[in-house]
């Protein structure tokens, strides 16, 4: 397929980073973001160009039962053409919003390519979503089309709206996705989108009452993930395994854009419940060359038997939350490979990283990636400093940044204040430019690599009649890094008993998503400021102190103390 000027610009930028592999200084000095003309569409200007007639494996899916299937680049180009042609027949057009709620299955990758080719907008949604969260995505996201598996169609039964329903499988009132495969002469597609047109809408948790709706353009994620490609160390011909669930930004990072930017095979390992032994067996097959996983997975791996070696693994990275130095040390001793940490957000691509060939400093996230204008800003003065909030200098037009929060001018103004994009994360920078994470400027935290907004959990808790007030903070956990813990002030007439704790935990479990599950609860008089605001910082300090000193909290209830909650 002939290259357009947009393809040539993208390829030149990518190839420079590939040539500078192992030389962070040179890459940072020489790399500039590509400049595009009136149109750019990653699916047509890049993927189709590298895919047509290419028999190398693009996607390799291994199921829990050991069965597996591979798809070539050429197959993925044609299959996505079929799906795009069929979707166009259903009315999907430029700018239409498509809620995509699929697991790690070929239809997910086909659909993403197809929706892009049509100039429509992808709204990635985890299959764990349901209830009010799903309804909010449909309504606030203004979904015109929904693509979901048969098992999830019932979740939409009570969600009203004028949206077309498409099912992978069979469901009454839903179009059959697999009818797309009957399209014998699919169209081929040309770029119909401008670089600044919307491509992705991500819902991401915040500290207010509704998740933020992050808008990414045709270039901010597809082209922006050249930084992620460089951070991971991907090369053409690699086989890359990323442990991540569809619907979350990290999946698009390392299971879609970054690997295919590098012409790398995406390797997928499906499982109902994570099993470290199974993962190690796959790594030792000798085909996987690069591997990305959240620290939760790395902590589980070091508890398994690492003595069997690392197979063909060349690069190992962690993302999503800070990685404990002892985990890095144990893997290094067993496998002779260093897990490299990095930093980024749903709103961005990879921003900071320990890149291949660079010295790794224990505890540091690394240095700014090529093309990323990082600034450390003192929140008190608004001036550059060596300790402060991690920001992006907007005067340097960072391409790999969202265009903003959709329909939320107040949040946009706050995030982009003073000529900087504010990440909300605080870090320090040493004399060599290495950046070390300190913490969040707000109360959002990670549990098992999922972002948890305390406000969302507290809003559910206070719906129970026993709860007068609640504050949710992260409680340190050896496997998940942290788990949500609720400090609860009881309403009059309720006693701090086992029965009360069970009732509240059951209510929370019935009204929150599984990844938001409250694992611990304590009845407590909540500390407050003089103006009446809850001082979560004191509660977090209490949890950290108890964990550091291995002190039991006698009034704490844990969900594993309640057999009634199982099943």
β-bridge mates for residue 293, sequence order: 318
User: Which three-class secondary structure state does DSSP give residue 260?
Assistant: helix
Q: What is the pLDDT of residues 283-298, one digit of tens each?
A: 999 899 999 998 778 8
| Positive/negative CA dihedral, 305, 309, 310, 314 | positive
Q: What is the pLDDT of residues 507-545, one digit of tens each?
A: 999 999 889 999 999 999 998 754 355 788 899 999 999
Helix segments in 303-443, DSSP class H: 325-335, 409-415
Q: What percentage of the chain has pLDDT greater than the value 90? A: 77
What's the mean pLDDT in 12-32? Answer: 98
What's the mean pLDDT in 422-449? Answer: 85
Which of 128-142, 199-213, 552-566 has the least mean pLDDT? 199-213
β-bridge mates for residue 421, sequence order: 392
Q: What percentage of the chain has pLDDT greater than the value 70? A: 96
DSSP annotation string for 210-241:
S-EEEEEETTTTTTTTHHHHHHHT--TT-EEE
Residue pair 295/320 in contact (Cβ under 8 Å)? The answer is yes
How would residue 273 be classed by pLDDT, with cut points 50, 70 and 90?
confident
Both tokens of 263, joined, read 């012409």
Residue pair 375/433 in contact (Cβ under 8 Å)? The answer is no
| Mean pLDDT of all residues belonging to the chain | 93
**Whole-angstrom distance, CA of residue 156 vs CA of residue 42:** 31
Q: What is the pLDDT of residues 451-463, one digit of tens each?
A: 787 877 887 898 8
Q: What is the pLDDT of residues 106-140, one digit of tens each?
A: 999 999 999 999 999 999 999 989 988 899 999 99
Q: Residue 79: is its pLDDT beyond 90? A: yes
Q: Supply the pLDDT for residue 533.
A: 59
Which of 301-305, 375-379, 410-414 has the least mean pLDDT? 301-305
Residue pair 279/267 in contact (Cβ under 8 Å)? The answer is no
**Whole-angstrom distance, CA of residue 234 vs CA of residue 179:** 35
DSSP code at position 324: P
**Whole-angstrom distance, CA of residue 135 vs CA of residue 395:** 38
Q: Residue 216: is its pLDDT beyond 50? A: yes
**Whole-angstrom distance, CA of residue 76 vs CA of residue 49:** 12
Both tokens of 555, joined, read 């009034």
Both tokens of 346, joined, read 């749903």
Angle, CA 533 vertex, CA 530 and CA 535 arms, to 5° = 95
Decide: residue 329, CB within 10 A, 0-12 exposed, 13-18 middle, 19+ buried: middle
Residue pair 444/455 in contact (Cβ under 8 Å)? The answer is no
Among 475, 357, 394, 261, CA closest to 27: 357
Residue 533 phi, psi dihedral angles, 5° rounding: -85, 140
From residue 414, alpha-carbon distances to 388, 390, 423, 440, 477 in Å are 17, 14, 11, 16, 32
Decide: residue 502, CB within 10 A, 0-12 exposed, 13-18 middle, 19+ buried: middle
Using only the alpha carbons of the chain, give its radius of gyration.
24
Q: Supply the pLDDT for residue 208.
A: 42
Sheet holding 420-429, edge to edge: 374-377, 387-393, 420-429, 435-440
Residue pair 161/136 in contact (Cβ under 8 Å)? The answer is no
Residue pair 51/78 in contact (Cβ under 8 Å)? The answer is no
Higher pLDDT, 129 or 76: 76
What's the mean pLDDT in 57-67? Answer: 96
Q: What is the pLDDT of residues 319-354, one digit of tens each?
A: 876 776 778 888 999 999 999 999 999 999 999 999
Q: Residue 407: is its pLDDT beyond 70? A: yes
């Amino acid at each position: 397929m002939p290259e357009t000027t947009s393809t040539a610009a993208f390829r030149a930028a990518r190839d420079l980073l590939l040539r500078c592999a192992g030389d962070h200084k040179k890459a940072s000095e020489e790399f500039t973001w590509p400049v595009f003309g009136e149109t750019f569409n990653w699916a047509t200007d890049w993927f189709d160009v590298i895919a047509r007639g290419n028999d190398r494996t693009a996607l390799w899916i291994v199921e829990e039962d050991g069965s597996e299937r591979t798809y070539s680049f050429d197959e993925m180009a044609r299959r996505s053409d079929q799906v795009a042609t069929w979707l166009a027949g259903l009315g999907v057009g430029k700018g239409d919003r498509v809620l995509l709620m699929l697991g790690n299955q070929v239809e997910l990758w086909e659909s993403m390519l197809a929706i892009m080719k049509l100039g429509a907008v992808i709204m990635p949604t985890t299959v764990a979503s349901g209830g009010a969260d799903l309804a909010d995505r449909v309504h606030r996201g203004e979904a015109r089309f929904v693509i979901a598996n048969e098992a999830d169609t019932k979740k939409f039964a009570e969600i009203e709206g004028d949206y077309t329903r498409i099912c992978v499988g069979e469901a009454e009132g839903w179009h059959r996705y697999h009818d797309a495969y009957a399209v014998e002469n699919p169209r081929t597609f040309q770029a119909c989108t401008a670089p600044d047109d919307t491509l992705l809408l991500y819902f991401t948790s915040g500290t207010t009452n509704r998740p933020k709706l992050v808008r990414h353009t045709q270039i901010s994620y597809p082209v922006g993930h050249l930084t992620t490609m460089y951070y991971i160390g991907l090369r053409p011909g690699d086989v890359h395994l990323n442990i991540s669930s569809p619907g979350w930004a990290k999946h698009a990072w390392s299971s879609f854009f970054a690997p295919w930017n590098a012409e790398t095979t995406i390797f997928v390992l499906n499982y109902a419940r994570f099993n470290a032994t199974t993962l190690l067996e796959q790594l030792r097959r000798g085909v996987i060359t690069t591997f990305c996983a959240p620290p939760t997975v790395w902590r589980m791996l070091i508890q398994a038997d690492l003595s069997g070696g690392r197979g063909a693994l060349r690069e190992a990275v962690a993302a999503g939350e800070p990685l404990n130095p002892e985990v890095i040390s144990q893997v290094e001793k067993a496998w002779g490979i260093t897990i490299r940490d990095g930093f980024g957000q749903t709103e961005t691509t990879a921003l900071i990283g320990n890149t291949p060939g660079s010295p790794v400093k224990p505890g540091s996230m690394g240095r700014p990636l090529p093309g990323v204008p990082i600034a450390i800003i003192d929140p008190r003065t608004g001036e550059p400093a060596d300790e402060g909030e991690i920001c992006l200098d907007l005067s340097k037009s960072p391409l790999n940044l969202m265009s903003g929060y959709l329909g939320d001018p107040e949040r946009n103004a706050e995030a982009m204040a003073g000529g900087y994009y504010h990440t909300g994360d605080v870090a320090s920078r040493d004399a060599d430019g290495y950046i070390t994470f300190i913490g969040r400027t707000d109360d959002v935290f990670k549990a098992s690599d999922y972002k948890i907004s305390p406000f969302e959990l507290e809003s559910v808790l206070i719906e129970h009649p026993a709860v007068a007030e609640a504050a949710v903070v992260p409680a340190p956990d050896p496997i998940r890094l942290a788990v949500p813990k609720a400090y609860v002030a009881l309403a009059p007439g309720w006693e701090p008993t086992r029965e009360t704790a069970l009732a509240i935990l059951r209510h929370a479990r019935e009204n929150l998503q599984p990844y938001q599950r409250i694992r611990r609860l304590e009845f407590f008089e909540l500390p407050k400021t003089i103006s009446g605001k809850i001082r979560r910082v004191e509660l977090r300090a209490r949890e950290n102190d108890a964990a550091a000193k291995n002190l039991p909290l006698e009034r704490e209830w844990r969900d594993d103390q309640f057999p009634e909650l199982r099943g």
